[in-house]
Structure 1
Amino acid sequence: MLESMGLPLPAESLLITGAIFCATTHKLQIEGIIIAGVTGAIMGDNLGYLIGHRLGLGILRKHGPRFGLTPERLLLGRYVFLKHGGPVIFFGRFVAILRMFVAILAGANRMPWHTFLFYNALGGMFWAGGYTLCAYLLGSEIAKLSGWLAVGFGAATLVVIGVLFVFIKHNEKRLTEEAMKAAEQDEQLKAPLP
């Protein structure tokens, strides 16, 4: 729950360790770990969304320019979350760094809560439930595989982030213009932010 709220904590490791403990000792029930993981993920993201909704935009406006977050880029972020936020929330759950901030960014960018809740719950179930169940079914074998899997997933994540960064850099002007045009027509984008 705390990792989903934005704190850098090892949630994946905790889920996998708990599942392996269940598989090897049978002192815990795997259902309990799955329920706790899914519930914590969903609750943490909802609290992160609330924090982002209440405080995020003000902080981004105040401190964002230091990090290159111009008003146009903030509008672009809002546009992305309104138009494509569902997949960002769902797939962001599986990327460690993004997982910590995606809920806060969704709240700050005023993504509709009901849309956020649906994709957040779906992502939380697949992420926490999937990791826990796979680790449980693989049992102690996961310890042997986890090093290579972590390296593989890490490399794949870096490639995807790099490709997205290059795409956004090359298309930022076009995407910003698209967001500005959409802001003129879309009531949610047109509405002033507190």
Structure 2
Amino acid sequence: MDLLERLVTIFAHNGYIAVLIALLLCGAGIPIPEDITLVAGGVIAGLGYANVHVMAVVTIAGVLIGDVAMFGLGHHFGEHMLRWRPIALLMPPRRYAKMQDKFERYGNRLMFFARFLPGMRTAVYITAGATRRVTFMRFFMLDGLAALISVPFWVYLGYFGANRREWLGTWIRRGQSSLWVLAGLVVLGVLALWWYRRARKSQS
């Protein structure tokens, strides 16, 4: 929770722009936990330093801009990016090969669920761009859907727990498993809607 308190202090003094910059740094692979950053944004809203709904929009924008930047760099520079020192440290050749293999096996599912896998997001998004097997629109839709699930979850968790730090700490620890459940329910809902529409079409 020490990191959370430090981020809350920084964000409370600098507002939305500090949250946005922090999320862009998270997207670039800087070792700042994105989930804690989002919670801190929610906490300052709960303490009255920001509007929580505006914060949700700002954080979704920050997350998506960071993700799109990594995808775009991968798409533009391809495997040449692996020679850049910061990228080489983040994703050495062996890890890049593993990511390629995962894309072969899981495809779209990997891009969607990467948002729920701390430590893998940046590597997945760079690989998605570098392999050039994924269109920008498909990447943006899958990543955007995942962000619409995960980002508000963390922001509103911070908002409701702003004055209940012990409760908040408990739910931060539970948060990742709760997100998996929420993501699974959304996926089931989408599949059920697809099946329902398909059944209606076959009857008409």
Kindly report which structure 2 residues correspond to 1:57-136, keeping only aligned pairs within 5 A, or say none: 57-60=79-82, 69=94, 74=97, 77-78=99-100, 80-81=102-103, 84-112=106-134, 113-136=136-159
- What TM-score do you get using the length of structure 2 for normalisation? 0.59
List per-residue Cα deviations over 1:72-96 (Å, max 9, x = no partner): x83x744642562322222211222
CA distance in 2, matches of 1:57, 1:10: 26
Kindly report which structure 2 residues correspond to 1:45-56, keeping only aligned pairs within 5 A, or say none: 45-56=67-78
Kindly report which structure 2 residues correspond to 1:143-154, keeping only aligned pairs within 5 A, or say none: 143-151=165-173
Q: Say whether the 8 Å CA contact 1:77–1:109 is kept in structure 2.
A: no
- Tell me, yes or no, if structure 1 residue 22 matches structure 2 residue 39: no
CA distance in 2, matches of 1:118, 1:12: 21
Which range moved further: 29-38 or 99-108?
A: 99-108
CA distance in 1, matches of 2:159, 2:172: 17
Q: Say whether the 8 Å CA contact 2:99–2:124 is kept in structure 1.
A: no
Which range moved further: 87-96 or 36-45?
A: 87-96
Q: Say whether the 8 Å CA contact 1:42–1:124 is kept in structure 2.
A: yes
CA distance in 2, matches of 1:137, 1:90: 27
Structure 2: give runs of 5+ residues left out of the alignment: 1-23, 178-204
Q: CA, structure 1 residues 55+136, in 2 after alignment: closer, same or farther (shift >3 Å)?
A: same
| Paired positions, count | 149
CA distance in 1, matches of 2:120, 2:159: 25
Q: Give aligned-pair identity as a percent.
A: 21
Which range moved further: 27-36 or 88-97?
A: 88-97
Give 1:38's aligned residue: 60
Structure 1: give runs of 5+ residues left out of the alignment: 157-194
**3-state SS of the aligned residue for 2:132?**
coil
Which range moved further: 6-15 or 144-153?
A: 144-153
Alpha-carbon shift at residue 121 of structure 1 (Å):
0.7
Q: CA, structure 1 residues 83+24, in 2 after alignment: closer, same or farther (shift >3 Å)?
A: same
CA distance in 1, matches of 2:160, 2:175: 20
Kindly report which structure 2 residues correspond to 1:172-183, keeping only aligned pairs within 5 A, or say none: none
